[in-house]
Amino acid sequence: MLIEALLALTLLAAGVVFFAPNKYAGKLAAALSAVPLVGSAWMWLNYEATGNALLGGDMAFETTAQWIDLGPYAIQWHVGLDGVSMPLIVMTTILTTMAIVSAWTPINERESQFYGLVLLLEFGLLGVFAALDFFVWFIFWEVVLVPMYFLIAVWGGPRRKYAAIKFFVYTNVASLIMFVGFLTLVFSLGDSVTALDLPQIAQALQVEGAVGSIAGFGPEAVKLFAFALMFFGFAVKVPVFPVHTWLPDAHVEAPTPVSVLLAGVLLKMGTYALLRFNFTMLPGVATDYAEIIAIIAVISVIYGAMLALAQQDLKRIVAYSSISSMGYVILGLVAYTTHGVGGATFQMISHGFISGLMFMVVGVIYNETHTRMVGDMSGMADRMPWTVGIFVAAAFGYMGLPLMSGFAAEVLIFLGSFNSAIPWAPIYTAAAMFGIVIVAGYLLWAMQRTLFGEFTLSTDYDVGRAPLHDVAPLVVLLACVIVLGVNPDIFYGMIQEAVNPILENAPDVGGGL
């Protein structure tokens, strides 16, 4: 019942904060968001599970209850955690609380509604990671869209309405396509599944010849069709090239605390779903088309980094770099090696913290200078030593400096993908590694221009030290990055435990590292 309690309290907090007086909303939201934070930490401490949730492993905090028994497939309330979802839950609660605190300075109107929607977003995100019934999962998946739409459209920048509707339409159409793809797969299984239960469906798919024909198309065609539709639906969320175009608009227009959650957690919904659905349920198709997916991943890495290199807006730089980092995740997943898939999952966590931190730093600088343009400022290090120090540390984390979480994640991914059975795997890996060079290039270049040298600023604001409640979340997130870098095993052990069963199922590959 712990997961239900966590969800219920988060939803309740959202409702309370939404109608609270504006004056106290920020503090109240931070206090109430501590409840899921402490709850998830407690769950992590008491976490006991083995194996993968979908492939017959023992889950932690699992509950199942009959909900709607109607039609060909029963719908159950089924939630539970394994080594993939547990770290994501912890990351979500930490990032939400930090995002709420970081919003105290920039959000100055309709505060109660803002914080209420952020908590509603957290509710949806926790549900996505905990749900193990397709119907329940899809409800949470869609619930996430609603607060995000409002958060961008009401509190965003000048082009917020366009960015919000683009985000909404893009991801909603993608959801619909994914829904059709998955249901096709379920229908093709015929009588071997009786519920929309994800573990049941995943295990039915492992049986040889389980997938039947639909409308004259053979099992292989049905699998490919379902895989392609789901891949497209999730790729929009990740996003990967070429369906990434909603992301820069949404990020640039979203208020900074929302960007933190957008980059930190929402993008992980896409990679999480890819891992859970495409790569766990249909490993055969994934390995058959591994080269195409790997090429998409490498293009995302390089193209995202190149786009970041071309930007003048600090926030856009961070936004595009997310596309690049998510490319690594896809590369790790498609490698189908222990370290590849494990590293990709670890990168989801690592990137959540690092990109959240980067957006937050840019936000703090913006709070003081009211500009984000690289050309508008220089020498910020003199005025904001603490913030700039954290900026530099976060940037090095992004570049993969050892002892920070990004290093652990990327080393694992590259190890895994280098040893993958995909033809030309070392070449894809080398190409993706080159992305790191570009990342270092654009981050160092941007920092050199903005942070160091003579202090100049083209806007008329008196730049002082950022208030403590702006800097504190930065310190917390940086601490998370470093702790995970020094001791990745906080999460990596459970991730590996949950990922290994996926690899045992994968045909023709595996072995190696």
Q: Residues interacting with another protein, by CB under 8 A?
A: 18-19, 66-72, 110, 113, 135, 138-139, 142-143, 145-146, 150, 153-154, 161, 164-165, 168, 172-173, 176, 187, 215
Place of tokens 């539709």: 229
| 79 phi, psi to nearest 5 deg | -130, 155
Q: Which is nearer to another protein, 113 or 322 (CB)?
A: 113
- Which CB sits closer to another protein, 187 or 452? 187
Q: How far is the CB of 68 from another protein (least distance, A)?
A: 5
Q: Cβ of residue 248: shortest distance to another protein, in angstroms? A: 21
Task: Report the interhelical angle of 198-206 vs 134-155 (nearest 10°).
Answer: 120
Q: Which is nearer to another protein, 137 or 227 (CB)?
A: 137
Q: State yes or no: cis peptide before 242, omega within 30 of 0.
A: yes
3-state SS track over 26-48: HHHHHHHHHHHHHHHHHHHHCCC
DSSP state of 127: H
Helices assigned H by DSSP within 84-197: 85-102, 111-130, 134-155, 160-188
Q: How far is the CB of 22 from another protein (least distance, A)?
A: 11
Instruction: Give CA–CA dist 267/92, Å, rounded.
Output: 12
Kindly state the smallest distance separating residue 10's Cβ from another protein, in Å: 16
Minimum CB separation from another protein for residue 130, in Å? 16
Q: Collapsing DSSP states into helix, strand and coil, what is residue 64?
A: strand
Assess contact for 346 and 488: CB atoms under 8 A. Answer: yes
For 384, residues 6+ apart whose C-beta sits below 8 A from its C-beta are: 364, 365, 368, 463, 465, 466
The residue (of 75 and 285) whose beta carbon lies closer to another protein is 75
Report the relative pairing of strands 75-81 and 377-378 from DSSP bridges.
unpaired
* Residues contacting 45, CB < 8 A, separation 6+: none
Phi, psi (degrees; rounded to nearest 5) at 164: -65, -45
Nearer to another protein, 114 or 227 (CB): 114
> Cβ 219 to another protein, closest distance in Å?
19
Nearer to another protein among residue 110 and residue 449 (C-beta): 110
At 329, phi and psi to the nearest 5?
-60, -45
- Of 164 and 198, CB closest to another protein: 164
Distance in Å, CB of 497 to another protein, minimum: 32
d(CA 171, CA 246): 9
Nearest to another protein of 142, 376 (CB atom): 142
Nearer to another protein, 126 or 143 (CB): 143
CB of 70 to another protein, least distance (A): 5
Closest CB to another protein among residues 217, 386 = 217
Taking the complex as a whole, the smallest distance from the CB of residue 250 to another protein amounts, in Å, to: 15
Provide, rounded to whole angstroms, the least separation between the CB of residue 171 and another protein.
12
Q: What is the DSSP string of 71-92?
A: SSSBEEEEEEE-TTHHHHHHHH
Helices 405-418 and 425-451: crossing angle, nearest 10°? 160
Query: Is the Cβ–Cβ distance between 49 and 24 less than 8 Å?
Result: no
C-alpha to C-alpha distance for 77 and 485, rounded to whole angstroms? 36
